[in-house]
Amino acid sequence: MVAEKIEEYKTTIVKRRKEEITKEESRQLAHARKVAAIFVPQSITAQTNATTDPSEVKALNSIFQQWNAQAVASWNTTGDPCSGTALTQSLSEFEDPSNNPAITCDCSFNDNTVCHITRLRVFGLDKRGALPKELLDLPYLDFLKLDRNFFSGPLPAFIGNMSRLGLLSLGNNDIFGKLPPELGNLAELGELYINSCALSGEIPSTFAKLKELRTVWASDNAFTGKIPDFFGNLTKLTALRFQGNSFEGPIPSSLGNLTSLTSLRIGDIYNGSSSSLDFIRNLKNLTDLVLRNVLLTGNLPSYITEIQYLQKLFLGNNGLSGSIPSQKSETLTTIDLSYNFLSGNLPSWVNSRLQLLLPGLECLQRSFPCFRNAPRYANFSIKCGGPAMIADGISFDVDNSTLGPATFNISSIRKWAVSNAGLFAERPIQQYVQNFAGTVSGTNTPKLYETSRLSPGSLRYYGLGLENGSYTVRLFFAETGFPELASQSWKSLGRRVFDVYIQGTRQLRDFDISKEAGGVNKAIIRNFTTNVTGNHLEIHLFWAGKGTTGIPTTGTYGPAISAISVAPMLLGISPRPNTFSYSELKAATEDFNPSNKLGEGGFGPVYKGTLSDGKVVAVKQLSVASNQGKDQFVTEIATISAVQHRNLVKLYGCCIGGNRRLLVYEYLVNKSLDHALWGQKDLHLDWPTRFNICLLTAKGLAYLHEESRPKIVHRDVKASNILLDAELCPKISDFGLAKLYDDKKTHITSRAAGTVGYLAPEYAMRGHLTEKVDVFSFGVVALEIITGRPNSDNRLEDGRVYLLNWAWTLHENNQLLSLLDPTLAEFDENEALRVIGVAFLCTQASPSLRPSMSRVIAMLVGDTEVGNVTTKPSYLTDCDFKDVTGDYEDKTDTFMDEESQKSNASDHSSNGIKSKNNTLSGLNDQPMLSPVNVSGFRESIGEGR
């Protein structure tokens, strides 16, 4: 009976309540329940007979509709918002990640019949739009948490009328403009989180009325003016964060009144008066103190490391002086004192368990080798945070060492160094390299941006042992740490902002990579000119405290850079490769043991060697008998060091001592192309490999001719000067015969230097040198690659001895594909015909008829049609090859001296397929070919490899 009476009483109460609701309210409630039902399925039973105030139901549904939000299944179980978990008062249950969005209700109103919404949480759901006015229709709201969304627009003044708010959390949104003074009306506000928005202007004076404030997070905005002195009167404050704004100094001394403070973080004060640390004396409850780059001066007080509860102390980038205190509290585990003016010895409490950052290492103040007054280099390039690679013809050194919070590393070749200072605050795992699996746009070298070196504070790169003079500094950036802004996710609101100094002068202030590049995942290069006077260069990337610090994860901030390239502006500054001692190279090659001999070049033998660090190299021992003088030797070293490309052999260094001159190259395991084509029986070059060798060799030459600065003519392109790496990728070697030419010159009249069999007629006969000389040689090499035979072979029957002549014979008889190496089981006919056609174009008699190497590339890949060559070159038609070869050694008017003729005769008498590479370099006394001495030239195109 009692139970029945209670149930009857409840029914009567509900009936009376329904009668009190007006028809309009009934319509609103029905509409609200209808919309709420869209969010989640209704539950069968209710937890209470109290119902939500209809105006609040209407407001909540309107808000959720604007935000495209839906209630989760744990609340709104009856179609009424205040049901299920919405009735719990447990804050932990309310903030459970699965309960999002979430509300909390208080149903104690009107004798427990009316519920009002007191908490609203929409966290990290990427909701967008403005903050709606309907929030005012939730008058009992005391908790509003809308962090990590994409809400945009100005912070509305009506928020100041939500008088019951005790917590307002709007961090990590796209809210901009000034703080409305009306926020000062929130008399009960205890926690304010407005970090990582785009707010600006000065802090309103009305904030002085917020006497209940305990927590203020306002970092990562653009607030200006001075930090108001009235904050010292808000004595309930326990946390105050003002990092990454544009405040002016000094820090108000009134903050010393905030004796309840446990966390104080202020950063990035550029202008105004300096501050001292005197106000810290009374803040005995601090657990973390961050005052980075805030114009602090004076002595570092001894008591600061003895604050009883202090765990983290960050005072870097200020003007503090004195010594590090001799005592510290047991709780203090992390200290950053970098880039101040501290002196004296380290205290005894410094040990391996303490993370201590001391002042930055300076080249002129520390004991690492700057090579002052002993310059060795004129360039350096670094792949920041990643492996060595070649991009745009630049060889970038590896920089993948693990940097810690206070680290200094010198590269293995002692050409550059890097230092890092700083700890990422509140990041459990300290990572100083960022990897990116996507593709960066706006560049033809996206791999260069797959890694970036990161720093939470100060990142410095030093060029060491540089020649004094003017340099161009290129810095490569791409923001790969945030998603696209178009995603309209709160994670896309991140801003990486830092400063760039070169040689101590600030070149970029508040540099935002994504803003400057026009978006994330886009490459941007910044070029600077600077002067080196002390044989070293410093590039300093510095985080002054601006930008976001918690997007997309906590502790994401600080400078990032993908690559650095430094090169001289003046041609008079020549690179100086790394030098090796003769004893070092002697040991590496086992005293130049014949078993390590790789081959014999025009200037001496080449040996395989293993350096003390295990690196395998090729050591070219220049013979004293060679005609290469010191100037030529220096030219070879300088050009190879300065000009680097994926299809050019890299020079590691040299040895010069007395008559001993050696070059140290990278070692390529598959040796030279001629060795692979007709010397090494166990290495089979199929058609795709041969075509790739043609194409990549063309790209290497195109770089020398068209992209390198200064431009370079190789002058000795031949199969033995094309080396193959482990993947059979070709690299052009032997730049000892190269000469630089000026853009304004159409040719250089020079003594012929090169290898017979590959020489262009105008060069062999008149010394007329342009890049078209290399084009001719490439045409010969291309034919060698596809035929698998050298350009001349005396073992063959007449008509096939000379490759070019035989090729033209087949062309005239429409048998071009008969040129192909018979060992090729399969080949691409279209590619083969393109290579043959390109070879014919390249070996035209007139240089003007030959294509550029960039056009050669376009024809090989099929982007440009290969032109037809119908006329046999004149150098092949002016006389009979059979007659010339028969009486070659009887010629007395050729360019060869007696010794050269004997050498050549010896080659012809050999039974092996290998013939000697006859080099026309250093023939000081022999007359040049005259235009009418065609017979001598014919022999020059027919002999040698």
**Model confidence over 621-676: pLDDT tens digits?**
876 544 555 566 665 676 566 667 888 888 887 887 777 888 888 899 998 999 89
CA distance 923 to 496: 62
**Range with top average pLDDT, 154-163, 303-312, 710-719, 766-775:** 154-163
pLDDT tier, 709 (very low <50, low <70, confident <90, very high otherwise) = low
Please say whether the beta carbons of 700 and 714 come within 8 A. no
222-223 β-sheet, strand order: 128-129, 150-154, 174-178, 198-201, 222-223
CB burial class (10 A; 0-12, 13-18, 19+) of residue 193? buried
Average pLDDT over the chain, rounded to an integer: 80
Q: Is the pTM of this model over 0.75?
A: no
CATH 3.40.47.10 fits 31-355, yes or no: no
Parallel/antiparallel/unpaired status of strands 128-129 and 150-154: parallel
Dihedrals phi, psi of 635, to nearest 5 degrees: -60, -45
CA distance 880 to 834: 29
Please say whether the beta carbons of 432 and 409 come within 8 A. no
Q: Alpha carbon of 320 to those of 148, 242, 296, 298: distances in Å?
A: 37, 21, 6, 5
Please say whether the beta carbons of 149 and 126 come within 8 A. yes
pLDDT tier, 294 (very low <50, low <70, confident <90, very high otherwise) = very high
pLDDT tier, 38 (very low <50, low <70, confident <90, very high otherwise) = very low
CA angle 591, 594, 595 (to 5 degrees): 105
Q: Alpha carbon of 256 to those of 202, 209, 224, 249, 280: distances in Å?
A: 22, 19, 22, 16, 6
CATH number of 673-942: 1.10.510.10
The per-residue pLDDT for 662 is 86
Q: Alpha carbon of 867 to those of 56, 785, 803: distances in Å?
A: 80, 21, 21
Q: Which two tokens stand for residue 729?
A: 């990728």
pLDDT tier, 919 (very low <50, low <70, confident <90, very high otherwise) = very low
Q: Per residue in 209-236, pLDDT tens?
A: 999 999 999 998 999 999 999 999 999 9
Q: Alpha carbon of 708 to those of 89, 392, 711: distances in Å?
A: 72, 10, 5
288, 716, 734, 774: which is the annotated catalytic residue?
A: 716
Please say whether the beta carbons of 731 and 704 come within 8 A. no
The pLDDT of residue 116 is above 80 = yes
Of 53, 56, 28, the closest CA to residue 138 belongs to 56
CATH number of 380-568: 2.60.120.430
CA angle 104, 105, 110 (to 5 degrees): 170
Residues in the chain: 945
* Residue 183: partners with Cβ closer than 8 Å, 6 or more residues away: 155, 159, 160, 189, 204, 206, 207, 210
In angstroms, how far apart are the furthest CA atoms of the chain?
139
The per-residue pLDDT for 271 is 86
Q: Per residue in 811-868, pLDDT tens?
A: 999 998 999 999 998 999 999 999 999 999 999 999 999 999 999 999 999 988 998 8
Where helices occur in 106-173 by DSSP H, the ranges are 109-112
* Residue 192: partners with Cβ closer than 8 Å, 6 or more residues away: 168, 169, 210, 213, 215, 216, 217, 218
The per-residue pLDDT for 170 is 96
Looking at the chain, the whole-number percentage of residues with pLDDT higher than 90 is 45
With residue 416 as reference, give the H or E element that holds it: strand 416-421
pLDDT tier, 595 (very low <50, low <70, confident <90, very high otherwise) = very high
CA distance 452 to 448: 9
Sign, CA dihedral 908-913-914-917, equals positive
CA distance 127 to 174: 11
**Residues 710-733: what's their mean pLDDT?**
88
Task: Give the start-to-end residue ranges of the domains of the chain.
Answer: 31-355, 380-568, 578-666, 673-942
- Is 111 among the catalytic positions? no
The per-residue pLDDT for 504 is 87
CA distance 470 to 460: 20
* Residue 319: partners with Cβ closer than 8 Å, 6 or more residues away: 274, 295, 296, 297, 340, 341
The per-residue pLDDT for 722 is 94
**Range with top average pLDDT, 489-493, 665-669, 798-802, 895-899:** 665-669
Q: Which residue has the higher pLDDT, 757 or 40?
A: 757
The pLDDT of residue 740 is above 60 = no
CA distance 769 to 784: 23
The pLDDT of residue 806 is above 70 = yes
The per-residue pLDDT for 450 is 94
Report DSSP state, residue 707.
Answer: I
With residue 10 as reference, give the H or E element that holds it: helix 2-20
CA distance 414 to 860: 41
The per-residue pLDDT for 943 is 34
- Residue in this structure with the two tokens 């000034």, named with its chain if needed: 178
The pLDDT of residue 298 is above 60 = yes
CA distance 610 to 619: 10
Query: Omega before 250 cis (within 30°)?
Result: yes
The pLDDT of residue 21 is above 60 = no
| Burial state string for 69-105 with b = 16 or more CB within 10 A and e = fewer than 16 | bebbebbbbbbbbbbbbbbeeeeeebeeeebbbbbbb
| Burial state string for 334-363 with b = 16 or more CB within 10 A and e = fewer than 16 | bbbbbbbebeeeeeebeeeeeebbbbbbeb
The per-residue pLDDT for 465 is 84
Please say whether the beta carbons of 421 and 437 come within 8 A. no
Q: Alpha carbon of 578 to those of 120, 396, 412: distances in Å?
A: 66, 16, 11
Architecture label for domain 578-666: 2-Layer Sandwich (3.30)
Q: Alpha carbon of 944 to those of 600, 734, 759, 914: distances in Å?
A: 14, 16, 10, 9
Please say whether the beta carbons of 477 and 521 come within 8 A. no
- What are residue 144's DSSP bridge partners? 120, 168
Beta strands in 729-780 (DSSP E): 730-732, 739-741, 748-749, 768-769
**Residues 126-153: what's their mean pLDDT?**
94
CA distance 792 to 804: 9
CA distance 945 to 917: 5
